[in-house]
Structure 1
Amino acid sequence: MGNRAGGRRTGPKCIAIVGPFSSGKTTLLEAILARTGAIPRQNPISSGNTVSDYSPEARAHAMSVEATFATTDFMGESLTLADCPGSIEFAFEAEPVLAACDLAVVVAEADEKKIPALQLIMRRLDELGVPRILFLNKVDKTEAGVRETLKMLQSTSRTPLLLRQIPLRKDGVVVGSIDLALERAYVYREYAESQIAEIPNDEKAREMEARFSMLETLADHDDALMEQLLEEIEPPKDAIFDDLSADLRSGAVTPVLIGSAEKGNGVLRLLKAIRHDAPDVETTRKRLNAPNGGQTVVQVMKTIHTAHGGKLSVSRILSGSVADGAELFMPGGASAKVSGIYRMFGKDQIKQASADVGETVALGKLDNVRTGQTLTATKGGMQPLVTFELPEPVFAFSVHPKERKDDVRMSTALQRLAEEDPSLSLRHQQDSSETVLSGHGEMHLRVTVERLEGKYQIPVEARPPAVPYRETIRKATQQRGRHKKQSGGHGQFGDVVLDIKPLPRGTGFEFTDTITGGVVPKTYIPSVEAGVRDFLRSGPLGFPIVDIAVNLADGSYHTVDSSDMAFQMAAKLAMKEGLAACSPVLLEPIMKVEIFTPSDATARITGIVPQRRGQILGYDARPGWPGWDVIEATMPQAEIGNLIIELRSATAGVASYRAAFDHMAELTGRLADEAMNAGGKAA
C-alpha cells in the first residue's frame, strides 16, 4: 500500500472527551476553552465555576454526572467538545455522543488501578468505530516512564498506542515535551503556550529511539515509508504527518500525546492534532452509513429539560442544514417543528438563526423527539442510524413523595428525568404499589433523587424496594367454611368444604371441584373460586400464596339466602382456618446471577458471594474480554439490593452483573421473621 495523503480539513467538528473517573476530563475541557480564548482564565474544579459540571449535583459530588457541551473556535474552525462522565454509573451518557462525534479524546493517566475502567471505554470506542487520541494526563505527577506507562495502557487497546511525544525532563522533573514528528522540544509554561526549544544533547538519543519506534508503527500501513526505513532514508515530514492523519482516521493507531491539563500544558499540541488529524463530519457520516446527497440528517445526542427554556435536543447536523422553524421528521413519519437553535456553552445557550452541516447545536422544543433518534427533513422519516443496548440496571429505589399531593408532579418529573437519561428505568410494582426507579449504581439514583428535590422541588422518600416474598404450605387439610347471617329480610348463607394441599414449587395455583348432586349449585362455584383467589393475595404470613391446590369437595346452600357474596365469604373463612393447619412457610425469590469482573478481582468476588447467602456455580474467562472473568451464582433477591456497591468497591468501580429470576426457596428462622416484620421490605 502506498503513501496516503491525508490533507488538512476544516469545518465544524465534534469531539467527545472520555476517560476513567477523575482522570482530568473536565479540567482538560476548561484548559481548552481558556487556550482558545472562550473563557478569560482556566478555573480549577475546586472553584465550582467550571463551564462543564455546572449542575448542583455535579458540583456537590465533585464529579461529572451527565454529558455537557461547549463550542469554541480554534484557528478559524468551530469545535464542539462534549465532556462525558467517567463513572461507570453514568457511562451511558457517552453512548449517543460517541455515535455522532468525529473523534474521542481519551484522557488517561499512569494509574494501574484505572486500567479496567479504561479498558471498558476503549472497547466501546472499538465497537462504535470511533477514532481516538489518548491524552496522557498528569505527566508532571508521575515518576513512571512514559514508555513503561504505554506498555501498561496497551492492554486496554486493540490498536497500537502510538507515542507522538516524550517528556522533557530536568533534574528528574517533567518540564516539557519533545514532539517526535516535528523533532522539536517544547518547554511548558503554566496556563500559557509552551516555548519552542532545541532538543537537549542528552535527550537526542532517547528522542531518536522513540521516533524510530513511531515510524516503524506507521510503516506497517505505508510501504513507501517501510522502504525508506530499511534503506535508512529520512522520510519527509509532510509524509509522516500524512501517515499520522490517515492512520488516526482509519483507526489503525491511537496517537498518544502528553501533558498536564491542570496547568494547561500540552493543550495546544492536542488542539493542533485535533484540527489537522481528526476526521470531519463527512467521515463520520460514512461511518454511520448516513445518506448524503444534500438531504438534512440530524442525530440527537442528548435531551435537556431546562428550567425556563423548555426542552432542548442537543443534535449533530450530519448533512444539510436546519433553520429555525424547520419541520423535522422522526422515525415512523411524525414531525416536530424546531423552535430555537442554540450554540451550547455549558449551562448557557447562544441563539442562532440556523445550523449547517457538521455543527452541534441544541434544537428547541422538539417535544416528542428522544435521545438517539435520527431526524430528517424528508417526510416519512428514517430509522435510527444507531441503536443502543441499555445496560442492565443494578440498583433500585422505591420512591414516593412525602406529600400525597405531589403524586402526579413526581410522576411527570420522573418521566422527564428518564427522557434526559434513557438508562433510568421506571416501573410500577403492583404487589407493593411502589414506583421503582432502577439505574446503574447508588450514586446514579442518588443524583436522580437530588434532581427531583432540587430541580423540581418535590420532596421524596427513597428506600429499598419490596422483595416479592411469597408463602406456601407444607401439609394438606380439609376445611369447612360456613357463612351465615340473618338481619331482617333475606339473610346470607354459604357453606363449602375445601380440600387444600401443596403443589410442587413453581406450579402456581389450581382450583377444581368434585361437587355431586348439586349440593353447591354450579352458578356459585365461580364465586367460591373468586373467594379463594382473593384470600391468596395475602396469606397468614402476610404475603401472596403460591403452589397450592384447592378443591371444592362439598357444601350446602339455601334457596333464598345463598348468593355469590355469601359463597365468596364462606370460601375465605375456609381458607383462613384451613391454612393455619397446613404449616405455612415463607418463600423468597432466588436469582441466577452473572457477575462480570476483572480477573485479578475474581478471588475477592468469590468471597463476597457466599457472604450474601449465594452459591457459586462456577466461573470462566469472559468471552471476548481478555483479562476479565464471568462468575455464575445463585443468590437471594433480598441480598442483591446493594450488591453492586460491594462489587464495585472490590474492582475499582468497574464490576457489573445481571440477574434473572431462577426459583423460589423456603426461608425460615430469623431472616424469615425479619422479612415478615419488615412487611416485605428488603432486609
Structure 2
Amino acid sequence: MAEFKTETITGGRPGSGAHRVVALCGPYLSGKTSLLESILYATGAIGRRGSTRAGTSIGDGAVEARKRNMGTEINVASVDYLGDQWTFLDVPGSIEFQHDAFAGLAVCDAAVLVCEPSVERVMALTPLLKFIEDRHIPHVIFVNKIDSAEVRVRDLLSALQSVSRRRLVLRQVPIRRAAADGSEETVGYVDLVSERAYRYRSSGASDLIEMPAEVLPREAEARRDLLETLSEFDDALLEQLIEDIAPEKSLIYRDLHDEFCTDKIVPVLLGAGDRENGVRRLLKALRHDTPVVEETARRRALPSDGAPMAECFKVLHQSHTGKLSLCRIWAGTLAEGQTVGGQRIGSILRPFGQRLDKFAEARAGEIVALAKVEALSSGQLLGPAAIAAAADFPAADDPVFGLALSARNRNDEVKLSGALQKIVEEDPSLSFEQRGETHELLLRGQGEMHLKVAIDKLAGRYNVAVETTTPRVAYRETIQAGTQQHARYKRQTGGHGQFADIKVEIKPLPRGSGFRFVDRIVGGVVPRNFIPAVEEGLAESLKEGPLGQPVVDLEATLFDGQYHAVDSSEMSFKMAARIAMSEAMPKCRPVLLEPILRVTVAGPAESTPRLQRLISGRRGQLLGYDARADWPGWDEVSALMPEAEIADMIVEIRSVTQGIGTFRAEFDHLQELAGRTAERIVEEIRKRQAA
C-alpha cells in the first residue's frame, strides 16, 4: 500500500447509527473500484468521482496498483449514509491477491459480489462464492455494466444460479430501448417489490417514471418468481399466494431482510458503477438488510459485548508510522494509550483510501488502523486476556509460483531479508526461504503478477533492487552398475607421513534408499578407530558426483585395506575414501535423477480437456480426473509431473480457466532422466559451476 497521509480530525462522529462493514468483491475487471467511487460520490464522501484509468480514484491508490491498473490489496473507505456509519472494503479481484480478498470478507457484515453481464464469465465467480457461502456471509450480486449488456437477464440469472448454492432473487428487471445502431440499451429498471419504474441518469439519482407497457409482462413474471422463492421460507406468504391474495409490501421487505441476514437468499441488483446507475438502490438495500456487528460477531462465534475485542485482518508497514494493523472492532471501545491483551495501543487511525484520519477512540463495528502494536498479526484477536489466533480466519493458499532472488548490490543482502519479512507479514500468501539444496533464496506466491508486485515493493519501499531467475531443480544422480575400487593415499614429508589403503565395493540400491555404508573388515587390516573416517570420506564425496549433482541410492562396502602404525591417521583414511569414490563413480554408469511431483490441477469442468493436454505437453503422466469435492462444476486432474515442468505452469493453467485455476504439488519420487534432456541439463550444470 502506498504511503498514507495522516490528518487529525476534530469534532464528533457524524450520524448515530450502527457502524457496518461491506466488502466489494468480484473478478478482475468487474468494476469494483469504479463502483466504490460512485458509492463515495453518492454518499457525499467525495465531491468528484475519480477514475481508475486516470489514476485519480480513491481505491487502488497504491503505486503498484496504479502501475498495473488493478487492485493489489484491500482499499478502505468509511462514509456516512443517512445517519449510519459504513466502511466499504474494495478487495482485489485477481486470484493472485485472493488472500487479501478473503481477509476482507472474513470481517465484513455483508458482501457485494460484482459481476459482468456475461454468461461466459459466470464461472469466474466460483472461488469467491465458495468462500462466501462456506462462511454464510450475507451477500448481494450486483450485475455491473448493465448499460452495455447484450445478454437477457433471465439467461444471466440462470447461469448465476448454476454456480450458487443459495436461491437467487432478482430484485429488478431492466427497461430497454432500441439504440440508433439497432442494438438494445438499458435505460432504467423496475423495482419488483415497490413496482415502480425508474430511468437512469448519467449522474445522480434515477428519475421515477410511469412503467412502460412493454415491461409489464416481464415484470409480472419476475415478481411472481420473487414471491414464490420467498414463500419457500414463509408459510404465511405461501398461504396468501395460494389464495391469490396480494401480499403487503412490508411483508415482502421483512422476508427479504430475514432470509438475506440468515444467508438463505441472494438478491440480484442491476446497475453501472461508472455511471452511478443503480448505486443508490444498492445502498438502500444494504441499509435495510445488512446485519449489525453484534449479529456478525455471533455468526463468527466472537464476543460482541463487554471488554474490548478487535481482530487484525491486514498488516501494513509505513516509513513514517511504522507498523499498522488494520482491525475490525467487535466489542467495546478502543482508545489511544489503552492497554488491551497486554499490548499498548498507539494512535487510532481511520483509513480513507491513502489517507489516515486520526481519532482518540473507536467503537464496536469500526475498521481502524492501530499503530505500533508489534505483537499483532493478521488473523489474530486483540482481547482482554491475550493475543490469540481467530479460529476461522482464512489460511494462506499454498504457493504455485516461485522465483530465485539475489540482491543486485551484495551489501543489500541483510536489508533484503528484513524487507522480505515485512512484505510477507503484510501478505501471508507470500513466503520466502533459503533452499539449501540449490543455495538459492526463493520467493514464492500465487502467480507471476503477485511476485512482480512484491519485487516492486522491495525496490520502491525498501530501496532493495533484486535480480530474479527461475529456481533451479534439485536434481540428483545415482549409479546403474557396481564396481570394486582400490585406493591408496600416501604422502611423505618431514616427520610423520600419511598413509591409508582401502578396498571398497560400490553397488546401486533401490530408489529412495539413500546412502548406506557397510563395514566388513576382519582381522584388523583397518583399525576400528579409522573406519568412521572412511565412512565420512565416502559420504562427503557423494555431495557432488560426475554429473555435478548429489549422489543417492548407493551402498559402499569397506572389505579390505592396509595401514601403517606410524603414518596412518583418520585424515589419511578419509582422503583415501574420497579417492576411491571419485575413481569408482565414472565406472558405475552414473545417471541423472529428476524429482517427480504428484500434482492435482483444479479448474472448471469445461476446462478439463485443455488441462489434460497442458499436462501431457509438459511430460506429465495423467492419473485421471474426478469432480472436485464441494465445488459444483469443477474437476481435479491428477498427474505425475517433473518438477522442472511446473515452474511456470500456473500461467498456462490460468489462461485456460478464466484466471481461476490452481494446483497443488508434493514430492513423489526420483526418476531416471536420459537422452537429450539429460544431456542439456548436465551441460547447464557444468556451465554454471564453471562460471
TM (norm. structure 1) is 0.96
Contact 1:96 1:300 in 2 (8 A): no
Amino acid at match of 1:254: V
Q: Which residue of 2 aligns with 1:5?
A: none
Quote how far apart the aligned CAs of 1:10 are.
3.6
Which residue of 266, 278, 297 maps to 2:309? 297
Note the 1:24-423 alignment, pairs <5 A. Answer: 24-171=31-178, 172-329=184-341, 335-376=342-383, 378-423=384-429
* Residues in 2 aligned to 1:610 and 1:82: alpha-carbon distance in whole angstroms: 41
Quote how far apart the aligned CAs of 1:382 are.
4.5
Q: Which residue of 2 aligns with 1:589?
A: 595
User: Deviations 1:541-581 (Å, cap 9, x if unpaired)?
Assistant: 11000000011111122222222222111110110001111
* Residues in 2 aligned to 1:628 and 1:596: alpha-carbon distance in whole angstroms: 7
* Residues in 1 aligned to 2:385 and 2:335: alpha-carbon distance in whole angstroms: 17
Quote how far apart the aligned CAs of 1:441 are.
1.0
* Residues in 2 aligned to 1:551 and 1:460: alpha-carbon distance in whole angstroms: 47
Contact 2:537 2:574 in 1 (8 A): yes
Which residue of 629, 636, 639 maps to 2:642? 636
* Residues in 1 aligned to 2:294 and 2:252: alpha-carbon distance in whole angstroms: 23
Identity of aligned residues (%): 45
Corresponding residue SS for 2:239: helix
* Residues in 2 aligned to 1:404 and 1:498: alpha-carbon distance in whole angstroms: 44
4+ residue stretches of structure 1 with deviation over 3 A? Answer: 380-383
**Greater mean deviation of Cα atoms: 554-563 or 391-400:** 554-563
Corresponding residue SS for 2:635: strand
Q: Which residue of 2 aligns with 1:677?
A: 683
**Greater mean deviation of Cα atoms: 388-397 or 82-91:** 388-397
Q: Which runs of 5+ in 2 are unaligned?
A: 1-15, 179-183
CA 380–261 in structure 1, closer or farther in 2 if over 3 Å, else same: closer
Amino acid at match of 1:577: E
* Residues in 2 aligned to 1:18 and 1:677: alpha-carbon distance in whole angstroms: 49
Contact 1:647 1:655 in 2 (8 A): yes
Corresponding residue SS for 1:251: coil
* Residues in 2 aligned to 1:572 and 1:591: alpha-carbon distance in whole angstroms: 33
Contact 1:477 1:578 in 2 (8 A): yes
Quote how far apart the aligned CAs of 1:205 are.
2.6
Amino acid at match of 1:200: P
Contact 2:380 2:388 in 1 (8 A): no
User: Deviations 1:630-661 (Å, cap 9, x if unpaired)?
Assistant: 11111111001111111111111111111111
Quote how far apart the aligned CAs of 1:166 are.
1.1
Quote how far apart the aligned CAs of 1:293 are.
3.8
Amino acid at match of 1:573: I
User: Deviations 1:138-196 (Å, cap 9, x if unpaired)?
Assistant: 11111211121111111111111111111122223211111111211121111211112
Amino acid at match of 1:355: A
Quote how far apart the aligned CAs of 1:468 are.
0.8
Corresponding residue SS for 2:588: coil
Q: Which residue of 2 aligns with 1:332?
A: none
CA 206–56 in structure 1, closer or farther in 2 if over 3 Å, else same: same
Q: Which residue of 2 aligns with 1:3?
A: none
Corresponding residue SS for 1:589: strand
Amino acid at match of 2:557: N
CA 451–381 in structure 1, closer or farther in 2 if over 3 Å, else same: closer
Contact 1:42 1:191 in 2 (8 A): no
TM (norm. structure 2) is 0.95
Q: Which residue of 2 aligns with 1:560?
A: 566
Root-mean-square deviation (Å): 1.5
Amino acid at match of 2:524: G
Contact 1:374 1:385 in 2 (8 A): no
* Residues in 2 aligned to 1:597 and 1:652: alpha-carbon distance in whole angstroms: 9
Quote how far apart the aligned CAs of 1:273 are.
0.9
Q: Which runs of 5+ in 1 are unaligned?
A: 1-8, 330-334
Corresponding residue SS for 2:151: coil
Quote how far apart the aligned CAs of 1:202 are.
2.7
Note the 1:657-672 alignment, pairs <5 A. Answer: 657-672=663-678
Quote how far apart the aligned CAs of 1:624 are.
2.3
Amino acid at match of 1:390: A
Corresponding residue SS for 1:32: helix
Quote how far apart the aligned CAs of 1:36 are.
1.1
* Residues in 2 aligned to 1:415 and 1:538: alpha-carbon distance in whole angstroms: 33
Quote how far apart the aligned CAs of 1:303 are.
0.8
Quote how far apart the aligned CAs of 1:295 are.
1.8
CA 648–383 in structure 1, closer or farther in 2 if over 3 Å, else same: closer
Aligned positions, number: 668
Which residue of 525, 546, 551 maps to 1:519? 525
Contact 1:114 1:652 in 2 (8 A): yes
Quote how far apart the aligned CAs of 1:336 are.
2.2
Q: Does 1:428 align with 2:404?
A: no
Quote how far apart the aligned CAs of 1:489 are.
2.1
Quote how far apart the aligned CAs of 1:385 are.
4.0
Contact 2:149 2:186 in 1 (8 A): no
Contact 1:342 1:351 in 2 (8 A): yes
**Greater mean deviation of Cα atoms: 188-197 or 673-682:** 673-682
CA 681–64 in structure 1, closer or farther in 2 if over 3 Å, else same: farther
Quote how far apart the aligned CAs of 1:607 are.
1.0
* Residues in 2 aligned to 1:385 and 1:31: alpha-carbon distance in whole angstroms: 35
Corresponding residue SS for 2:41: helix
Q: Which residue of 1 aligns with 2:453?
A: 447
Q: Which residue of 1 aligns with 2:462?
A: 456
CA 680–573 in structure 1, closer or farther in 2 if over 3 Å, else same: closer
Corresponding residue SS for 1:531: helix
Quote how far apart the aligned CAs of 1:487 are.
2.2
* Residues in 2 aligned to 1:309 and 1:584: alpha-carbon distance in whole angstroms: 58
